[in-house]
Amino acid sequence: MTLARTWSVGLAGVTGAMVEVEVDMSAGLPGVALVGLPDAVVRQSVDRVRAAVVNTGASWPMRRITIGLSPASMPKQGSGFDLALAAAVLAAAGAVPADAADGLVLLGELGLDGSVRPVRGVLPAVLAARRAGHRTVVVPAGNADEAALVDGAEVLPAGTLGDLVDHLSGRARLAAHARGPLPPPAPVPDLGDVVGQAAGRRAVEVAAAGGHHLFLTGPPGAGKTMLAERLPGLLPVLDERAALEVTAIHSVAGTLPPDAPFVSRPPFEAPHHSATMAALVGGGSGAIRPGALCRAHRGVLFLDEAPEFPRATLDTLRQPLERGAVTISRAAGSATFPCRAQLVLAANPCPCASAAGDAACTCSPLERRRYQARLSGPLLDRIDLRVELPPVGRAAWLGAGAEPESTTTVAARVAVAREAAAARLRGTGLALNSQVPGRLLRERWPVPRPALALAERALDRGLLSVRGLDRVLRVSWTLADLDGRPVPHADDVTEALGMRLQRVAA
């Protein structure tokens, strides 16, 4: 037979699309023509496949070979098509039965020695294959656990191209992979390690309960980073659907640990302040990859030393934080990644960052204002909670006072508050107070007018925008949920307003 076909999957963001791989052999000068908008990596796959076939013990057909990747209008990127190309060539050459390869979905990169190497994006690729009605997929052995996360998919792990040839020829069938028990989630830092900082601990708890963004300011050593690192431990463990969504993003990004290919805890991303716009949001010159914001989906994105980030880079977060998704467009196409993450910013009050506080500060008022102005107003307007942390005092450091609450204790309160919010929002498609649109919040769940007196005065004086007032109301509902009240009281609104209007002293 001179015509054979098999299947693979191309990715655009975290969305997979089926790609039909066709190989035709005809008389003529020996050579290979690869069509279907392949990128440089896919074009080089011809040389990898040829060497792998020869080193496996088969012969490369000395004929005119045309390889088509369909749909032809969709750009093809990455090395994951190697295995499908090799199987289709061997089937067209008659080295394996053509009907054995037809209908199989094959993913994997080939080494020159015929080994099958792991690739990125196997989970979203198998999900796409399953949605398209394909039940059996062949993947690299290193991606077998990841592929087996998809229900209803028969996963055949292949270590070498020779193993696949034996399977297609019927000499030795590949055994379906059975995924073992998932490893337990890694332990999280304990909130009880934080010394003092009652206001900071309260803000982290409120942020976890309502999904609010948080801005922590204070001198070095006040505990800003410690509090941010303990926020993911207060969030509930991801349900199966959310975990698959987050795992798919990390699979595409190539950050999925091979020994634990399942993200069950909310992720925590903390890029350095030298990160570029593409590293923070996503992009790249070739295949579009998710940035730190996307990898923090359903988790926490922590930007330490936030004023040290370029202002333009920080401002790219504004629209994705509102939408919960980011679309990255390039000349060759576009990709959309979900990015519903909690943003936590941390900053020192001034450039000198004196640990002794304002008394030892050497910065002029102008320098302090310039430093604080590196964070734009529109970005800060999207931050619900702003807390200034004082230096840790001697009494707190020596352990005076009550024993601080642990992550387990606080997480239990957060879970109860989230359940109360979910019950109230049932039927709206929303789950957290921070996601409720302002108009829906005011019309369906109005806060009593007497409780809003202080917030309305702040709006009249220009201390709050309308969007800021809506965010105060959202935080008020979170505070009420934490305290088990059906409606926010004036104290809830006052506390939410205080967290909203907190400013670094100039």
pLDDT per residue over 94-110, tens digit each? 999 988 888 899 999 99
Q: In this predicted model, what pLDDT tens digit does every residue of 428-459 receive, in sequence order?
A: 989 999 999 988 998 999 999 899 999 989 99
**Would the pLDDT of 503 be above 50?**
no
Sequence-distant (≥ 6) Cβ neighbours of residue 129 within 8 angstroms: 7, 9, 16, 18, 105, 137, 153
**Would the pLDDT of 470 be above 70?**
yes
Sequence-distant (≥ 6) Cβ neighbours of residue 35 within 8 angstroms: 66, 67, 68, 69, 72
**Would the pLDDT of 59 be above 50?**
yes
**Would the pLDDT of 285 be above 80?**
no
pLDDT score of 195: 79
Q: Average the pLDDT over 40-51 and give the result.
A: 95
In angstroms, the CA 236 to CA 468 distance is 27
Residues 140 and 80: beta-carbon distance below 8 Å: no
Q: In this predicted model, what pLDDT tens digit does every residue of 224-250 receive, in sequence order?
A: 999 999 999 999 999 989 999 999 999
pLDDT band at 1 (very low <50, low <70, confident <90, very high): low
What's the pTM? 0.90
When computed from its CA atoms, the radius of gyration of the chain, rounded to whole angstroms, is: 27
Phi, psi of 481 (to 5 degrees): -65, -40
Tell me the helix, strand and coil percentages in the chain, rounded to 5: 40, 20, 40
Give Cα separations from 46 to 66, 70, 91, 494 (angstroms): 11, 17, 16, 67
**Would the pLDDT of 402 be above 70?**
no
Q: Average the pLDDT over 470-474 and give the result.
A: 93
Tell me which amino acid residue 59 is.
S
* Residue predicted with more confidence, 308 or 351: 308
Residues 481 and 209: beta-carbon distance below 8 Å: yes
| Paired tokens of 296 | 């923090």
Sequence-distant (≥ 6) Cβ neighbours of residue 206 within 8 angstroms: 212, 385, 475, 478, 479, 482, 499
Q: Which of 315-319, 328-332, 337-341 has the lowest mean pLDDT?
A: 328-332
* Residue predicted with more confidence, 57 or 401: 57
**In sequence order, what DSSP letters do the residues of 185-208 get, joined into one string?**
PPP---GGGS-S-HHHHHHHHHHH
Q: Average the pLDDT over 404-419 and give the result.
A: 94
The residue whose two tokens read 């039965």 is 97
In angstroms, the CA 455 to CA 445 distance is 17
In angstroms, the CA 60 to CA 50 distance is 7
Which of 213-227 are b and which e, b meaning 16 or more Cβ less than 10 Å from the residue's Cβ?
A: bbbbbbbeebbbbbb
In angstroms, the CA 257 to CA 432 distance is 30
**Neighbouring-strand partners of residue 326:** 337
Sign of CA pseudo-dihedral 252, 253, 254, 259: negative
Q: Average the pLDDT over 136-162 and give the result.
A: 94
**Would the pLDDT of 360 be above 80?**
no
pLDDT score of 197: 84
71: cis peptide before it, omega within 30°? yes
The residue whose two tokens read 């999280």 is 188
Pairs from 412-418 (Cβ < 8 Å, separation ≥ 24): 413/205, 413/209, 413/482, 414/205, 414/208, 414/209, 414/234, 414/235, 414/236, 414/482, 415/236, 416/481, 416/484, 417/209, 417/210, 417/478, 417/481, 417/482, 418/209, 418/236, 418/481
Q: In this predicted model, what pLDDT tens digit does every residue of 181-209 receive, in sequence order?
A: 777 777 889 998 887 788 899 999 999 99
Helix axes 407-424, 198-210, angle to 10 degrees: 40
Q: Which domains does the chain have, with CATH numbers?
A: 3-169 (3.30.230.10), 191-393+401-415 (3.40.50.300)
Indicate the burial class of 275 (C-beta count within 10 angstroms; 0-12, 13-18, 19 or more).
middle
Q: Average the pLDDT over 151-173 and give the result.
A: 94
pLDDT band at 88 (very low <50, low <70, confident <90, very high): very high
pLDDT band at 358 (very low <50, low <70, confident <90, very high): low
Sequence-distant (≥ 6) Cβ neighbours of residue 138 within 8 angstroms: 83, 104, 105, 106, 107, 108, 156, 157, 158, 164, 167, 174
Residues 267 and 299: beta-carbon distance below 8 Å: yes
pLDDT band at 372 (very low <50, low <70, confident <90, very high): confident
**Neighbouring-strand partners of residue 24:** 3, 66
In angstroms, the CA 123 to CA 144 distance is 10
Averaged pLDDT score across all residues of the chain: 90
